[in-house]
Chains A and B, each alone.
Chain A
């Protein structure tokens, strides 16, 4: 087969981690909610610590004549059943409750960090043992164990909260563990150890920054849960005993007087809620700041958002290919005119596909070829209307057998997807649902598209499996996708796409993920199926050999636009666009075995930074001034070819 043309990644993320940590705190405090919560927590913690100074009354100071009074200037938050000042009692009670939170968090943090890092960094039996202990602890009802400890250690609140820290540690261990494993794998790739760094350097330079965000998030959640658990103990009348106040036993007092003085519920439960909520929200804030995104950014995503926006636009580019493809066009299975696909980026839209036009005749095989990042797959996504989230598709026309698809609704599209146009994707195994047997999935597709009964559909499904040359269809049908090889899974995916007997099959890099020997088999299969059924085929590929072998025509794409559209024999013999020429040279098509293949220097310009002139100009050996001044038009030439190059005519003259 032929060589694969892959461009070098344009940007490296090497500086990412350092950058992230510098702005981490700043970004966190920029979130108004997180900032407010942090301030509230600081105020609450300091006032409880300074309770003896701030509190207007002692925690046990009674005034029986003034029991159950509401808020007043003297008693800011009212008084309880013994006329004690609730505000003062909350300040003193907070000392117990917050100390408990502190004890629990410290224990949990120490255990979580040590075991998490150890399990992640050391691996082996340490990893296995730690994870087993986590599984067991996660199955333990925390409050039950708290009560056991309280029963045994005689209402010792500290013992209970320390125990609670231990019970909560598995959640932190898991978070730290997975962050450590991620770093370990990253380091393995980066070869930091080989570079001579000591393990302490590795720790401080890579591990701590990577763990800090997820761990802090989890720790604030643990703090919130500990606060609630500590309050629960007090509420149950356990732990520090009345009359000494804790936030929990004050809620208990409130419950006793729930009918007489419901107001008591507000400050007593309220302070617990404020602290626990603030801690939870801070956790969210840390998570968001760490991930470098604004809070609640996922709420924009849902099934509806997945359905792409489609607008019909006027043709931008004059149809210079009109005369030539008129024969095609009259009877074309699929005719795409000026298709653009844009993706959202920072409040803006960036075009990935820019005014692509092509058509496929019945029974014809069209290749769409180009390097990665040229917009080939996105073009297909645009035609089938299954692009990534938030995409905007626009086209002058996408016509299937004369029916305009752009004006159809999502439901309307479904009348053509599957039955008119079949689709197979690049990753065969992940394109199948992991939760159903392949037989079930095929039967379902047949039932959906052919409106037949289940038993009948199952028979057709088995026939389809035979058609795609799967051995022992009955056996394979009962297997799940993960039990199949890539080649077998791709055959199933092809069979599923054939279930609706489509007029056109679109295959997006169908062989890229497969072994070389299997690649040829799948290509043969696709060609044979096409001959048998007379359906048309669109084959998206970066592999020039696949085009040469399996296609009649080819569209060469570069940086989101078509740069050449030609008959494959013409294209392979005499490509007109310099990019097509370079692609052909860098593939093994027509070269002697073992000859070194030249590589195209440079990389495809990323979407959003396309130059105004020729987009290939940077990498083109023939570049001249007029190339970069204005957009280049697609020029039609003789032998039914069009190319987007100012030199097209000179090349033709050279041939003649």
Chain B
């Protein structure tokens, strides 16, 4: 198992490098230089060139990237252009919001998705059909729109939960939970459908398998077959889907943070996009990718534990 983790980590490094390089190269393609936007249109070409030299953006792209990388490894992602704060500081102050949201939603998606999927696979009939309809609906409906309808209903009409905002866990765990309920539920629900579909499909295909027929013929009780034998085999693909769901879910956090006015990484991303604050955007992109890498690693490990054949490959 340790071998698996090491191997996945080794694969994660090139992934991080490639993503950061793409973002970095894209950044240098931006029309106009950083210095121009910092100094304004009245700046003399000499002043712009001077600032460019100071910022180091007159060097070749790869040299710049190497310098950025060197900083990144030591925890320095540069400075925000608009706010003048270190990017790392901005990330640190906002990541708790996004992590609470993303991890909470992932847990909701997993719990709900797997329960519904198992139920549909075992009982079928109406529930099976409901899962199919739900999966199409959730894929087709814009989740930011659903979120707004949820706000309207639970926040404005029923007033069960706050309409927007975020309270940190350290400040008040109860209010923290209260503020998170609706955004986590909306985000989790829309991703639960995908997990439910995969859970159901994988369990159904396992039910047709030879080993299930064999243990049935040898008198194993159905609960043991469904939850132990089929469950462990279906678990692997469900984990793979979970990692993909997490990727989609991160995109979802950007929208949800916007709707619920939560001071997370996504809100920062949108703000920095509007102000063309490239260092912050680069830092954010790398951080999002790092989160994906961690989740891929975790799901891979779980997959490996569930299905040793995958490890053998």
Binds A, one of B42-50, B53-61, B108-116, B265-273: B265-273
Tell me if B120 is interfacial: C-beta within 8 Å of chain A. Answer: yes
Tell me if B74 is interfacial: C-beta within 8 Å of chain A. Answer: no
A493 in contact with B214 given A232-B142, A284-B136 (CB within 8 Å): yes
Contacting residues, chain A, for B144 (C-beta < 8 A):
231-232, 235, 251
A-B contact count (CB 8 A): 250
Binds A, one of B62-70, B86-94, B171-179, B280-288: B280-288
Contacting residues, chain A, for B151 (C-beta < 8 A):
258
Interface pair A435/B306, CB less than 8 Å apart: yes
Interface pair B124/A236, CB less than 8 Å apart: no
A431 in contact with B210 given A140-B289, A417-B218 (CB within 8 Å): yes
A269 in contact with B222 given A152-B26, A152-B27, A482-B309 (CB within 8 Å): no
Interface pair B255/A276, CB less than 8 Å apart: no
Give the Cβ gap from A332 to chain B, nearest Cβ, in Å: 20
Partner of B122, one of A302, A417, A499: A302
Give the Cβ gap from A399 to chain B, nearest Cβ, in Å: 18
Give the Cβ gap from A341 to chain B, nearest Cβ, in Å: 14
Interface pair B122/A418, CB less than 8 Å apart: no
Tell me if A445 is interfacial: C-beta within 8 Å of chain B. Answer: yes
Tell me if B137 is interfacial: C-beta within 8 Å of chain A. Answer: yes
Partner of A277, one of B136, B218, B289: B136
Max chain A Cβ within 10 angstroms of own Cβ: one of B143, B210, B226, B306: B210
**Residue ID in chain A nearest B140 by CB atoms:** A277
Tell me if A143 is interfacial: C-beta within 8 Å of chain B. Answer: yes
Interface pair A500/B219, CB less than 8 Å apart: yes
Max chain B Cβ within 10 angstroms of own Cβ: one of A138, A299, A424: A299
Interface pair A389/B208, CB less than 8 Å apart: yes
Tell me if B152 is interfacial: C-beta within 8 Å of chain A. Answer: yes
Give the Cβ gap from A77 to chain B, nearest Cβ, in Å: 16
Tell me if B5 is interfacial: C-beta within 8 Å of chain A. Answer: no
Contacting residues, chain B, for A140 (C-beta < 8 A):
19, 247, 289, 292
A384 to B219, CA, bound (A): 9
Q: Bits for A242-270, please: 1 = Cβ < 8 Å to B, else 0.
A: 00000000010011001100100100010
Give the Cβ gap from A247 to chain B, nearest Cβ, in Å: 9
A139 in contact with B136 given A151-B273, A237-B274 (CB within 8 Å): no
Give the Cβ gap from A219 to chain B, nearest Cβ, in Å: 15
Q: Bits for B199-223, please: 1 = Cβ < 8 Å to A, else 0.
A: 0000010011111011111111110
Interface pair A224/B216, CB less than 8 Å apart: no
Which residues 358-392 in A have Cβ within 8 Å of B in the complex?
A: 384, 386, 389
Interface pair B251/A303, CB less than 8 Å apart: no
A154 to B140, CA, bound (A): 29
Which residues 270-294 in A have Cβ within 8 Å of B in the complex?
A: 272-273, 276-281, 284
Partner of B281, one of A148, A259, A304: A148
Contacting residues, chain A, for B222 (C-beta < 8 A):
303, 410
A386 to B216, CA, bound (A): 7
A147 to B269, CA, bound (A): 7
Interface pair A430/B210, CB less than 8 Å apart: yes
A258 to B261, CA, bound (A): 14
Tell me if A596 is interfacial: C-beta within 8 Å of chain B. Answer: no
Tell me if B264 is interfacial: C-beta within 8 Å of chain A. Answer: no
Interface pair B251/A433, CB less than 8 Å apart: no
Tell me if B293 is interfacial: C-beta within 8 Å of chain A. Answer: yes
Tell me if A118 is interfacial: C-beta within 8 Å of chain B. Answer: no
Partner of A143, one of B18, B29, B251, B259: B251
Interface pair A449/B307, CB less than 8 Å apart: no
A31 to B97, CA, bound (A): 46
Interface pair A151/B278, CB less than 8 Å apart: yes
Give the Cβ gap from B137 to chain A, nearest Cβ, in Å: 7
**Residue ID in chain A nearest B247 by CB atoms:** A141
Tell me if A580 is interfacial: C-beta within 8 Å of chain B. Answer: no
A449 to B224, CA, bound (A): 13
Contacting residues, chain A, for B259 (C-beta < 8 A):
255
A417 to B220, CA, bound (A): 8
Contacting residues, chain B, for A93 (C-beta < 8 A):
none
Give the Cβ gap from A258 to chain B, nearest Cβ, in Å: 6
Tell me if B31 is interfacial: C-beta within 8 Å of chain A. Answer: yes
Nearest 7 pairs of A and B residues by beta carbon: A302-B124, A418-B219, A417-B219, A143-B251, A277-B140, A269-B145, A423-B217
23 contacting pairs across A/B (C-beta < 8 A): A139-B296, A140-B19, A144-B269, A147-B281, A152-B30, A221-B139, A224-B140, A232-B142, A232-B255, A265-B145, A269-B149, A272-B145, A273-B140, A277-B140, A280-B139, A296-B129, A299-B132, A423-B218, A434-B309, A435-B236, A436-B232, A448-B221, A480-B312
Interface residues of B (CB under 8 A from A): 15, 18-19, 23, 26-27, 29-31, 120-125, 128-129, 132, 136-137, 139-145, 148-149, 151-152, 156, 204, 207-211, 213-222, 224, 226, 229, 232-233, 236, 244, 247-248, 250-252, 254-255, 258-259, 269-270, 272-274, 276-278, 281, 284-285, 288-289, 292-293, 296, 306-309, 312
Interface residues of A (CB under 8 A from B): 136, 138-145, 147-154, 221, 224, 228, 231-232, 235-238, 251, 254-255, 258-259, 262, 265, 269, 272-273, 276-281, 284, 296, 298-306, 384, 386, 389, 410-411, 413-419, 422-425, 427, 430-436, 445, 448-449, 480, 482-483, 493, 496-497, 499-500, 506
